[in-house]
């Protein structure tokens, strides 16, 4: 059983996979400019793509893979979102008067990311209205997603938070109700604002209640309707 499930509402963990590529909105000359001032780099699972507080010299385009975007403070992390292919990261650093990255990015899986010179990106924003409008839409989408994340973390009980993340992984990341989970239980704890122990306990409860099936790293969502109710009512 490996069929896609319909995504409902705002995702509480990931940025949407846009069907329309921003690259297609560029003129031929702009594409040449981007290609000349960008480079694709492969990152292995666990490698840091960029660090919060570093000088913002590039925009990061997700060509393939899965990364987490997060804030880090001492020994604690707050995951803002997960990002998959066709997403632009680092755009929060392009407003006037700012020259530092506001968050860190780390690869959850082997990923390929194109690093684009931020000044070239700014130049195209100023001269291409369709491209700028698309970027504004992406920023608004990310803002709405982060609002959803904060609501889930602050207003929902543990069961609701876990249901949110499992549905998001199925709907937005893997687009299937059965998938191999690349995240550790500690990663799930960071995503849900729970301790690792609480994640393990909640996952066992969900399994015992027939909501999910688990075998090693494999997870299958068995009762989508009930998970959606748990997510909705927290």
What is the predicted pLDDT for the residue at 16?
55
Please indicate, yes or no, if residue 5 is contained in any of the structural domains.
no
Q: How far is CA 138 from CA 18, 107, 131, in A?
A: 9, 21, 11
Same domain, 44 and 57: yes
Last-in-domain residue among 151, 169, 187: 151
CATH of the domain at 229: 1.10.10.10
| Number of domains making up the chain | 2
How do the pLDDT tens digits run along the chain, 234 residues long? 444 444 444 456 666 555 567 889 999 999 999 999 999 999 999 999 999 999 999 999 999 999 999 988 777 788 888 999 889 999 888 777 778 898 999 999 999 999 999 999 999 999 999 999 999 988 888 888 888 888 888 888 999 999 999 998 998 888 899 999 888 888 888 888 889 999 999 999 999 999 999 988 899 999 999 999 998 886
Same domain, 147 and 197: no
CATH of the domain at 115: 2.60.120.10
23, 38 in Cβ contact below 8 A?
no
What is the predicted pLDDT for the residue at 12?
60
Same domain, 27 and 135: yes
Whole domain around residue 41: which residue ranges? 22-151
User: How far apart are the C-alpha atoms of 101 and 99, rounded to whole Å?
Assistant: 7
Same domain, 31 and 137: yes
User: How far apart are the C-alpha atoms of 182 and 112, rounded to whole Å?
Assistant: 16
How are the residues of the chain apportioned to helix, strand and coil, as percentages rounded to the nearest 5?
A: 45, 25, 30
Residues contacting 4, CB < 8 A, separation 6+: 175, 176, 177
Last-in-domain residue among 134, 151, 168: 151
Please indicate, yes or no, if residue 1 is contained in any of the structural domains.
no
Same domain, 177 and 67: no
Please indicate, yes or no, if residue 200 is contained in any of the structural domains.
yes
Please indicate, yes or no, if residue 51 is contained in any of the structural domains.
yes
């Amino acid at each position: 059983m490996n069929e896609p499930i319909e995504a409902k509402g705002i995702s509480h963990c990931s940025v949407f996979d846009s069907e329309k590529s921003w690259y297609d909105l560029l003129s031929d000359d702009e594409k040449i400019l981007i290609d000349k001032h960008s480079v694709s780099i492969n990152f292995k699972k666990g490698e840091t793509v960029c660090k919060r507080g570093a000088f913002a010299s590039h925009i990061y385009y997700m060509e393939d893979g899965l990364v987490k975007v997060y804030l880090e403070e001492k020994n604690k992390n707050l995951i803002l979102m997960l990002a998959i292919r066709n997403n632009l990261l680092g755009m929060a650093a392009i407003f006037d008067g700012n020259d530092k990255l506001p968050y860190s990015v780390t690869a959850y899986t082997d990923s390929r990311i194109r690093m684009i010179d931020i000044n070239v990106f700014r130049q195209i924003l100023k001269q291409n209205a369709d491209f700028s409008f698309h970027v504004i839409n992406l920023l608004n989408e990310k803002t709405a997603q982060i609002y959803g994340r904060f609501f889930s973390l602050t207003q929902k009980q543990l069961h609701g938070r876990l249901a949110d993340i499992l549905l998001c992984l199925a709907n937005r990341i893997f687009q299937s109700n059965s998938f191999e989970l690349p995240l550790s239980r500690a990663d799930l704890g960071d995503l849900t604002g729970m301790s690792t122990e609480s994640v393990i306990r909640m996952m066992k409860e969900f399994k015992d209640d027939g909501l999910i099936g688990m075998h090693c790293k494999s997870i299958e969502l068995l009762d989508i309707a009930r998970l959606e109710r748990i997510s909705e009512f927290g």
